[in-house]
Amino acid sequence: MISRSLFVAAFLLAASAASGAAETNRVTSATNWLTRALSLDDCMDLALKQNSAILKGKSDLEAAYGVVVQTRAIAIPKLRATGDYSATDATEKFPGADFTINRDQNWSANVRVVQSIYEGGRIRSALRTAQLTQEQAILEYERVIADSLLDVRVTYYDVLLTTQQVLVQEASVNLLAKELEDTRHRFDAGTVSRFNVLRAEVELANARPRLIRAKNAYRIAKNTLANLLGYNLPRDLWENVPLTLTGKLAAEPYEIDLPAAIGQALEWRPELGVLRKAEGLRKEGVTSAQGGYKPSVQLFAGYGARNSQFSDDLVREISGWQAGAQVSWDIFDGRLTKGKVDQARALHEKSKHELDDTTRRIELEVRTAYSQFIEAKELLESQKKVQEQAEEALRLANARADTGTGTQLDVLSAQTALTDARSTQIQALRDYAVARARLERAIGQTVIRENAIP
C-alpha cells in the first residue's frame, strides 16, 4: 500500500506539470488523436491526463492537502504582530500638579511568538489527523482513477465489439443480397417460383435494421470513448468520429481462485482503505473532543514598545522584551464538551459499521464479478468451433442448392446461423474482456502503470 500511495503522489506531481500542455492539446489541437491509432494503453494514459473525473479527483486531492496544512497548524508556533493608536480630546489633571493621568495620544506595538505546549491531547491528535487525512485523500484519488479507467476499458471493448458487429451485419446483408440476386436469376430461368424471390427479399429486408442498429451502437460507443478521454468533439461531427483503435477482441488467459480474489480485494481496495482512515479520523475526533475537559497552555515571547505616559513627546517610547505563559481552562462550559464527546463517539461507532458493511459489500462484489468471469469464460469456450461449423454448413447448403438437392430454406437458415455464430463469438470475446476488467477492479489490482507518466 505504501508504494502505491507514493506512486499516486508521484503521478500527481507529473500530471500537474503537464496539465497546462494537456489542456491546450485537448481544447485547441486534435491532430494527435485524429491521425494516430490508439491502443488500450494509449487510451488509459490519455484518460489519466484528460479524463474529467480524474482531473476533478486531482483537485480534490490538492484541496485535501490544504486541509492537512490547516490541521497541522495547531502544533506550529504563531508569530503575531499587534499595534494600536488612540487619541482623546479630554485628559484628567491633578490640582497643583503639572502632569496628566492620560495622554491625549497613545500608541503601542508588539511582536510575539506563541507556542501551544498542551491542549489536552489535541496537538498530537491533530498531527495524526493530518497524516490520516493525507492518506485518505490519496486512497480516494486511487478510487476515482480505478473507476475511470474501468469505464475506459469497458468502452474501448464496446467500440471493438460494435466495429465487429457492423462487419458481421454488413456481411450478412451482402450474403442475403447475393442470395436474392441468385434467386431472381433462377426465377427468370423458370427453375424457382415467385415465392422464393419474395422469401429472399423478406430475409434481406429483415437484415437491414440489424445493420442500422449496429452502426448506431458503433457511433455511440465512439462518442462515449471520446468523452471519457476528455476530448471536445466539434458540434457538427456526428457520423464519423475520427477515433481509430488498434486493439482486437481476444481472450487473454487469466487465472485466479475465489479465496485469493477476496483476500486481495480486502487488502487492496481503496474504498476499504478510505473507510479505515475514516475510522481512524473519527477516533481522533473523540480525542480532540475530550481535550475540552483539559486546560490549554501556551508559551509566548516577544518584543513590545509604547509611548511614555508621562511625557507630551509622542516619540518618546518605552520598549523591551516580553516572555511568559498563559493558561485557560473551561472548568464548566455548560456541558458543551460532553455533547461534543458523545457526538464524536457515536460517529466513531458509525464509521465502524460503515467499514463492516462495505467489507461485506465488496466481498459480494468480488463473488459476483468472479461468477460473471467464469460464465464469460465458459461461454467463450463453448463458442470455439461454432463459427467454423456454421461456415461449413453454409458452404454445403449452397453446394446442395446448386445441384438441386437442397432448398432455398436450407441456404437462408445456414446464412442466419452463420450470422448468429459470428455475433455470438464477438459478443463472447467482449464479455470475457469486460468480465476480466471488472473482476480486476473488484479485486483492486494496481491501476496506475509506470508508462502512464510522460
Distance between CA atoms of residues 49 and 230, nearest Å:
9
| 3-state secondary structure at position 247 | coil
Q: Are 22 and 49 contacting, i.e. CB atoms less than 8 angstroms apart?
A: yes
Predicted local confidence at residue 97, as pLDDT: 57
> What is the pTM for the complete model shown?
0.81
Q: Is 324 within 8 Å of 304 (Cβ atoms)?
A: no
Buried b (16+ CB within 10 A) or exposed e, 99-131: eeeebeebbbebebeeebeebbebbebbeebbb
Has residue 148 got a pLDDT over 90? yes
What does the mean pLDDT of the chain come to?
A: 83
Task: Look at residue 450 in the predicted model and tell me its pLDDT.
Answer: 40
Burial class of 359 by CB neighbour count within 10 A (0 to 12, 13 to 18, 19+): middle
Per-residue pLDDT at 369: 96
| Mean pLDDT score, 122-129 | 91
Backbone φ and ψ of 102, nearest 5°:
-125, 135
Residue 166 in contact with residue 211, Cβ under 8 Å? yes
Residue 398 has pLDDT above 90, yes or no: no
**Hey, is 242 helix, strand or coil?**
coil
How many Cβ atoms from other residues are within 10 Å of residue 453's Cβ? 17
Instruction: Supply the pLDDT for residue 214.
Output: 93
Tens-digit pLDDT profile for residues 215-245: 999 999 999 999 999 888 878 777 777 888 8
- For residue range 169-206, list pLDDT tens digits in order: 888 898 889 888 888 988 888 888 899 899 889 989 99
Determine the pLDDT at residue 260: 94
Higher pLDDT, 283 or 97: 283
Rounded Cα distance, 57 and 15, in Å: 12
The residue written with cell numbers 486541509 in the block is 67
In whole angstroms, what is the distance from residue 41 CA to residue 241 CA? 20
Label residue 93 by pLDDT band (50, 70, 90): low
| Domains of the chain with CATH codes | 2-76+125-295+335-452 (1.20.1600.10)
Q: Looking at residue 449, what is its pLDDT?
A: 41
Predicted local confidence at residue 424, as pLDDT: 82
Instruction: Note the pLDDT tens digit of each residue in 13-56.
Output: 444 544 444 444 444 344 455 567 889 999 999 999 999 999 99
Percent of the chain at pLDDT exceeding 70: 83
Identify any residues that bridge with 299 across adjacent strands, giving them in sequence order.
Answer: 115, 325
Distance CA 433, CA 254 (A): 10
**CA 211: distance to chain centroid?**
35
Given a cut of 90, whether residue 423 has pLDDT beyond it is no
Going across the sheet that includes 105-118, the strands are 78-87, 105-118, 296-307, 317-328
Residues 6+ apart with CB under 8 A from 401: 407, 408, 410, 411
At 13 the pLDDT is: 46
Model confidence band, residue 288 (pLDDT cutoffs 50, 70, 90): very high
Q: In this predicted structure, what is the pLDDT of residue 157?
A: 95
pLDDT at 9: 47
* pLDDT at 137 (0 to 100): 94
**pLDDT confidence of residue 33:** 55
Identify the pLDDT of residue 314.
53
Count of C-beta atoms within a 10 Å radius of residue 18: 14
Say if CB 152 and CB 38 are below 8 A apart: no
pLDDT of 408 higher than 80:
no
pLDDT for 313 beyond 70: no
Using the predicted structure, report yes or no on whether residue 389 has a pLDDT greater than 90: no
